[in-house]
Chains A and B, each alone.
Chain A
Amino acid sequence: MNRSGRSLLGAEKKKVIVLIAILLVSIVFGGIGHAKDVELIGAGATFPYPLYSKMFDVYNKESGVKVNYQAIGSGGGIRQLTNKTVDFGGSDAIMSDKDLAEASAPVLHIPTCAGAVVVTYNLSGNLKLRFTPDAIADIFLGKINKWNDRRISEINPGVKLPDMNVTVVHRSDGSGTTSIFSDYLSKVSKEWKEKVGGGTSLSWPTGLGGKGNPGVAGLVQQTPGSIGYVELIYALQNKMPYGMVKNKKGNFVTATLASTSKAADTNLPDDMKVSLTDTDAPEGYPISGFTWILVYKDQSYGDRTEEKPKELVKLLWWMTHEGQKYTEPLEYAPLSKKAVEKAEKLIKSITYKLSTVMK
């Protein structure tokens, strides 16, 4: 009980104000890191995320440059690059004309590796199935409802197919995997192209949706008689069966790292904006695709200094050369020699203020 009650309250108030001020100052100035360390930021596709994770970790140890990649999906990567909030984007899908118009400046598509999308199923009896493009399209269009339908049994002679309903499983979220799969189906089936089309998110005529590759794999593993599509890596790691697919040259090919790389062994355009689906390569797996790193051709946007473009170009060069040795252990298909040559030309064409970054 003392008369100075009010001044005590004032002293308390002062302490609180000082504390808040210290907090604010440390937040504002703590963010300013060492000005010398360059950090590159990227965002995009989830498919190559395990590979990029490893690559950027190794690159950091070797060069000291920190690369931060957020796997938010191909669409997110394209959006962030358009908003210029990241240095590079990652995408399993080629930027559409609409996306390029919104970006309003040329965007280079530099391939880093290739992947395959496999058709996996849940049937008892350890069956090894073969699929034709028409069969896959009809199944995913909802036109084939029973496993022992003639259209499946005639391509699989000698296999005892059960009288079960076919349950289609697709992706519920937007994905580059869906983009590759639907791009393939649009090429091989006119009906698919008209009814559904290609893209990262589709209006599926039938089936259940699973979230992410693990979601689809999980649903297929749990639902007897189901069929779905996942990245090759998921089928391998979850030991799920997947079918051989008939390619353009008429050969039934099993998806492997080798057949994925072979799918890329065709005429590649200079800008590398190529879809590998329905490949001409005789031993290539027909449902394959590149994944790309997207960068602006002209790096002198915003308030960028020459430092970041230099490091970016060095990173891209490393990823397409020394970094390629990390692809196969993680079950990704490395770039073929032809693809690397094209990538080199693209990287060399990156400019900063009217001169190329790579001298």
Chain B
Amino acid sequence: MNHSRAEVLVLEAKTETMRWRKPALSEPSFRRILSVAGAFVLLLLLAIFFSLIIASYPAIQSFGIRFLFGSTWDPVRSEFGAFPFVVGTLATSFFALVISVVFSIPISIFLGEYSARGTTATFIKSMLELLAGVPSVIYGFCGLFILTPLVRTLEMKIGVAPYGVGIFTASLVLSIMIIPYSASIGREVISLVPSDLKEAAFSLGATRFEVIRKVILPYAKSGIVAGILLSLGRALGETMAVTMVIGNSNFIPKGIFSPANTLASVIANEFTEATGSLYLASLIELGLVLFIVTTVINLIGKLIIRRMGVEG
């Protein structure tokens, strides 16, 4: 059959529309697949939570609320309390957060606004990603063999007990580990500030610094805080790097240079050798405490973000 050019075009158009009317995947089923994926994540989270509760039930039964405030961790007498580890976890994470924010916000401003393109920007961006990709054991080794002697010399100069390991060292190592998370999210958010807002400010005579302070940062505030929250979550759960440099002392830390212990570090250290169901259940309850602490902090963070505004 010899069709004219016009007839061929009409035929093709018809086939196209026919295919349109019968897509391979319909809109409702596509939405269903997406909601199943979302529900799956929620189910997984609930499953983790409930399996933690079930496995730590012997400890919950024996200790009750005392577990959260007890300061003894005695496997020989089966007396377990999580308080020193909660203090250690919160102390190292928040201190690390403070240190990392000092670096990550300037980095995100630099990469998002000042030098968004060009070789310097690409180089720094890739270095940031590399930093995020270094395994935590390597951070632990570097902390133990390079940072610890330095901190020890500092402690000897100040006149504190020269352990080298402790909350200070662990926080330093953690802060370097979490910088990439807040920096990259901060950079994204800052670069997404609408340019007409910035241009309007410039046209009114604002300096670059004023634009950053008065236009960009207020707009990107909630996004930056979200990035910081993500890095805090990472810091709370970090195990390997922390356990190598925190000193593993099961006492409530007295100062920034004392050795301490964190929830994740205790679990990692004692889980394989734990004999006795109460010991095991207590270790799992530590995991449950960590889970709850992380969730609570995330919720508080979300509240802060919502208060700050809807952008970002």
Contact = CB atoms under 8 A, between A and B. Distances in A.
Contact of A199 (B72, B75, B79): B75
Contact of B247 (A72, A75, A200, A208): A208
23 contacts: A1-B15, A73-B272, A75-B272, A76-B273, A78-B275, A98-B275, A98-B276, A172-B248, A172-B261, A172-B265, A174-B75, A174-B272, A197-B77, A198-B76, A200-B275, A203-B72, A203-B77, A203-B250, A208-B163, A208-B165, A208-B247, A215-B244, A222-B164
Contact of A9 (B12, B24, B249, B269): B24
A222 to B, nearest CB: 7
A173 interface: yes
Nearest to B259: A208
B249 A209 contact: yes
B24 A208 contact: no
Contacts of B19: 5
A36 interface: no
Contacts of B171: none
Contacts of A218: 144
A292 to B, nearest CB: 15
Contact of A201 (B16, B270, B277): B270
Contacts of B272: 72-73, 75-76, 173-174
Most buried by B among A197, A199, A218: A199
Nearest to A5: B19
B181 interface: no
B148 interface: yes
A6 B75 CA distance: 64
Most buried by B among A9, A175, A209, A224: A209
A209 B247 contact: yes
A99 B19 CA distance: 69
Interface residues of A, number: 42
B303 to A, nearest CB: 36
Contacts of B161: 165, 167
B165 A174 contact: no
B259 A202 contact: no
B15 A75 contact: no
B149 interface: yes
Nearest to B149: A222
A196 B76 contact: yes
Interface string B138-162: 0000001000110010000000011
A282 interface: no
Contact of A167 (B73, B144, B163, B243): B163
Contacts of A146: none
A203 B75 contact: yes
Nearest to A9: B24
Given A209-B261, A211-B243, 18 more contacts: A1-B16, A5-B24, A96-B275, A98-B275, A98-B276, A99-B275, A172-B248, A172-B269, A175-B273, A200-B75, A201-B76, A202-B76, A203-B76, A204-B250, A208-B248, A211-B269, A218-B144, A222-B152
A172 B240 CA distance: 13
Contacts of A167: 161, 163
A295 B250 CA distance: 35
A207 interface: yes
Nearest to B79: A203
A233 B274 CA distance: 25
Nearest to A173: B269
A337 interface: no
B278 to A, nearest CB: 9
B199 interface: no
A61 interface: no
Nearest to A200: B273
B311 interface: no
Interface in A190-228: 196-204, 207-211, 215, 218-219, 222-224
A239 interface: no
Contacts of A96: 275
Contacts of A209: 247-249, 259, 261, 269
A279 interface: no
Contacts of A74: 273
Contacts of A359: none
B74 interface: yes
B50 to A, nearest CB: 23
Nearest to B280: A79
A196 B77 CA distance: 9
A209 B144 CA distance: 13
A12 to B, nearest CB: 11
B164 A223 contact: yes
B244 A173 contact: no
| Top 3 A-B residue pairs of the complex, sorted by shortest distance between their CB atoms | A174-B273, A209-B248, A75-B273
A208 B249 contact: yes
Contacts of A34: none
A199 B76 contact: yes
Contacts of B74: 202-203
A3 B244 CA distance: 63
Nearest to A76: B272
Interface in B30-83: 72-77, 79
Interface in B109-146: 144
Contacts of A165: 161
A165 B79 CA distance: 30
Contacts of B163: 167, 208, 223
Interface in A1-22: 1, 3, 5-6, 9
A158 to B, nearest CB: 28
B88 to A, nearest CB: 12
B260 to A, nearest CB: 10
A11 B243 CA distance: 53
Contacts of A201: 75-76, 270, 273-274, 279
A38 to B, nearest CB: 27
